[in-house]
Structure 1
């Protein structure tokens, strides 16, 4: 048993030092006495891959899977091996099965050199779409996509006069929308916008360079429209209500209307009526 443990430690030491041939040899010796060690099978397969012994890599990734090594690692290991072999059929079959079972390694599939030459294949792209939804589930849920009409690079106009620029970008895998607003003067601000699955409403948290803070909560949602309300503190310290409405227009522009109320929402007075036009 001591000898077996020594072999395991030696194999891991070779593996960590990337001495792949020595790791292969030592893991094979160790596994004769410890055939249920899934990590050892996996590390042996990686060592095979690194020495371009792809046939052995496939065999040993399979042994690791039979001994319950985590499925995503096996899928990626086998897929990289098939990719390097040029075995497109087994590559797509393995990745497709993985995607159907929750594979979420989107970044790896788009950046790993083993998959570069497959990026433009339609079936690989279809698999990537599935993996992206596994990795970023908000992308595939309509509630999180309701405010996408605001995403873009915009010039902001009031009465046909440009008053600012706003960069609206998708954030956190599609689970949020980030706003970065600036004017030609000193004023600027940012907000984070997101759908909360607990209260089932959209929220906007805004902070401006003038010390203004708004915590908007959705009050109305329709196709191409989203409305919020928030309390805010005016310059005199009084607390009022703000209503913020975004409306997508037929020409692709977006209207942003701010209204204020000093009587708890009984009456509203417009304070900003802006039109967003996509930058050319």
Structure 2
């Protein structure tokens, strides 16, 4: 028992010394998560205005704003969504080395989504999992896809499953870089700016 305590105290002191040395360092550590597979979602990183798809009759309406950042040494991608109606939500996205796949966990006022996946052959990020509606305590299969487009935009699509292999599209959003958005004034007005 005394030996175990001695080992525990020695280990704690060693860890404390390491933490102390890191805290005192003036040089930030190098990014830990660089290259593949960590950069697979980089096409989504940015400050975006999001619109419904255009129709033959009119441009798609403004749906909201999304800010996607890669932080913590490149290991974590965060999402901060504010919809045109005021709804908001956030997600964390990480390449999980324990399962060898990308994972996203989303939470908003009323929705929880947890799904995993990776890049498909065409370069789209495709994640499949489950959505949970807090108010009704219901669960449903959900598939999300993020497809980079040649013009620098990204198409996001959500499909809800019935548990029997059938999927129905429930959302399509076109992400336009905020800095390059020709409809930026319209989006700002919708946000009340």
TM-score by length of 1: 0.50
In structure 2, which of residues 58, 77, 96 is the aligned counterpart of residue 196 of structure 1?
96
Structure of greater Rg: 1
Query: Do residues 180 (structure 1) and 77 (structure 2) align?
Result: no
- How many residue pairs end up in the alignment? 152
In structure 1, which of residues 250, 255, 261 is the aligned counterpart of residue 161 of structure 2?
261
Query: Do residues 108 (structure 1) and 26 (structure 2) align?
Result: yes
Native 8 Å contact 2:75 2:94 kept in 1: yes
Matches within 5 A, 1:142-157: 142-157=36-51
In structure 2, which of residues 117, 136, 142 is the aligned counterpart of residue 218 of structure 1?
117
Q: Which has the higher contact order (CA 8 A, sep 6+)?
A: 2
Native 8 Å contact 2:141 2:160 kept in 1: yes
Q: Cα distance, 1:230 vs. partner?
A: 1.7
Native 8 Å contact 1:214 1:232 kept in 2: yes
Q: Cα distance, 1:232 vs. partner?
A: 1.9
Cα distance in 2 for partners of 1:254, 1:222 equals: 16
Q: Cα distance, 1:221 vs. partner?
A: 3.4
> Is the alpha carbon distance of 1:278 and 1:239 closer, same or farther for their aligned partners in structure 2, counting shifts above 3 Å?
same
CA displacement, residues 71-116 of structure 1 (integer Å, 9 cap, x when unaligned): xx9xxxxxxxxxxxxxxxxxxxxxxxxxxxxxx99x835xxxxxxx
Cα distance in 1 for partners of 2:118, 2:38 equals: 16
Cα distance in 2 for partners of 1:243, 1:228 equals: 6
Aligned to 2:177: 278
Native 8 Å contact 1:226 1:246 kept in 2: yes
RMSD: 2.4
Native 8 Å contact 2:50 2:62 kept in 1: yes
Secondary structure of 1:250's counterpart equals coil
Native 8 Å contact 1:182 1:188 kept in 2: yes
Aligned to 1:166: 66
Native 8 Å contact 2:40 2:119 kept in 1: no
Q: Cα distance, 1:171 vs. partner?
A: 1.2
Aligned to 2:144: 244
Q: Cα distance, 1:223 vs. partner?
A: 5.6
TM-score by length of 2: 0.71
Query: Do residues 137 (structure 1) and 36 (structure 2) align?
Result: no
Q: Which protein has the bigger strand share?
A: 2
Q: Cα distance, 1:219 vs. partner?
A: 5.6
* Structure 1 unaligned residues grouped into runs of 5+: 1-72, 74-103, 110-131
**Runs of 4+ deviating beyond 4 Å:** none
Q: Cα distance, 1:274 vs. partner?
A: 0.5
Secondary structure of 2:150's counterpart equals coil
Q: Which protein has the bigger helix share?
A: 1
* Structure 2 unaligned residues grouped into runs of 5+: 1-20, 54-59, 180-193
Cα distance in 1 for partners of 2:147, 2:95 equals: 18
